[in-house]
Amino acid sequence: MQGYGLLIASGAVPYERQIFASAMTAFAQQAGALEVADAVKELYVQQPA
């Protein structure tokens, strides 16, 4: 997830809500709630305005 956020922030890939949601769903299935919250926070901080 962090890698995807970095790609979005750098402009290498466009932000696409459906891809982001799918990636977060897969990540949530493998991580606990705190890890997911941290990942979401970090991605939104890195996302360009």
SS3 content of the chain, % helix, strand, coil (to 5): 75, 0, 25
Residue 34 has what pLDDT?
66
Residue 28 has what pLDDT?
77
Q: How far is CA 45 from CA 15, 37, 40, in A?
A: 13, 12, 9
**Residue 35 identity (one-letter amino acid):** E
Chain segment 11-49, per-residue pLDDT in tens:
998 888 888 888 777 777 776 666 777 777 777 766 665
